[in-house]
């Protein structure tokens, strides 16, 4: 096998609670993460060196791209002297709280593992990914998971809930560091019911899941990006059961009762000038 195609799925945060800052300057978090069917596509071919081309001109194509760095880490770890031509077809918005870069890096690790038949386990790939991105371990396996620590300690979560979703963005992203700095200056936080969310996902209750959506970053992002409250309000008006921001923003997702409702809402939001796509949970 000389070529492989690997899909890189986006993620959303159904709950996200940020706690204390650690001595290493990271923050401890508790979050329920969900992979979704919005994805990038990576075409990976065996080569004598690492080369990366991206469909979005504004994104770096070389060593500054986390997907390129993932390939470097893979070859250093395995001792393989070869390389890879990587073509990244980008669909996931960047700097939006959807793990767009991390999931590409995870797809590179998975793809190279298959292409070179190195037979690394998911746990080994996650360990590699942890060295350069907190979201990469989750993106290796996807599905639904409770993430703690800096987001890299994972526990699978049973999810029996139908999840027709709309993901929408209305403004430019904000750096994760900026969002943490803003949150550090805001002593009052939401009470995020993580355990209740896990129970709700297991029960399959859409209404209960929607009721429990929560993100500590949302209130501070709303202060600097008007599109976040606007999109939440639009989605509720378009019959979303609930809506929340993902990650450190600025994407907003809504949970709908049916895929027909989700498609209709996405079309409506696009007509209003927002980026919007309907999708579902992956795995």
Active site residues: 11, 135
φ, ψ at 74 (rounded to 5°): -60, -50
> ∠ CA 26-32-33 to the nearest 5 degrees?
85
Helix H segments across the chain?
66-78, 100-115, 122-130, 136-141, 176-184, 194-203, 206-212, 216-222, 227-237, 259-271
φ, ψ at 267 (rounded to 5°): -60, -45
Is residue 13 a contact partner of residue 215, using CB atoms and an 8 Å limit? yes
Q: Give the C-alpha distances (Å, rounded to integers) separating 164 from 2, 86, 111, 234.
A: 36, 32, 28, 16
Q: Give the C-alpha distances (Å, rounded to integers) separating 167 from 11, 24, 143, 198.
A: 10, 33, 17, 21
Length of the chain equals 283
Query: What is the spatial distance between Cα 52 and Cα 176, in angstroms, rounded to a whole number?
Result: 25
């Amino acid at each position: 096998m000389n070529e492989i195609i690997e899909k890189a799925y986006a993620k959303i945060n159904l709950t996200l609670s940020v706690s204390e800052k650690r001595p290493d300057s990271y923050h401890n978090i508790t979050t329920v993460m969900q992979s979704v069917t919005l994805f990038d596509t990576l075409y990976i071919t065996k080569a004598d060196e690492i080369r990366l081309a991206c469909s979005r001109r504004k994104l770096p194509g070389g060593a500054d791209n986390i997907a390129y760095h993932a390939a470097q880490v893979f070859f250093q770890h395995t001792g393989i002297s070869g390389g890879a031509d990587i073509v990244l077809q980008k669909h996931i918005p960047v700097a939006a709280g959807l793990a767009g870069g991390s999931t590409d890096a995870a797809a590179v690790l998975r793809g190279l593992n298959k292409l070179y038949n190195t037979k690394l386990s998911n746990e080994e790939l996650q360990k590699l990914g942890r060295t350069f991105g907190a979201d990469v371990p989750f993106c290796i396996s996807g599905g639904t998971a409770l993430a703690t620590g800096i987001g890299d300690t994972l526990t699978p979560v049973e999810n029996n809930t139908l999840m027709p979703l709309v993901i929408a963005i209305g403004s430019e992203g904000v750096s994760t560091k900026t969002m943490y700095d803003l949150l550090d200056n805001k002593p009052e936080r939401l009470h995020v019911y993580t355990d209740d969310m896990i129970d709700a996902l297991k029960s399959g209750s859409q209404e209960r899941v929607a009721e429990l959506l929560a993100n500590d970053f949302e209130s501070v992002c709303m202060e600097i990006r008007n599109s976040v409250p606007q999109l939440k309000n639009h989605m509720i008006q378009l019959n979303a059961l609930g809506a929340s921001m993902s990650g450190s923003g600025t994407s907003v997702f809504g949970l709908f009762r049916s895929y027909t409702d989700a498609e209709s809402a996405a079309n409506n939001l696009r007509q209003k000038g927002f980026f919007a796509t309907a999708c579902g949970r992956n795995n």
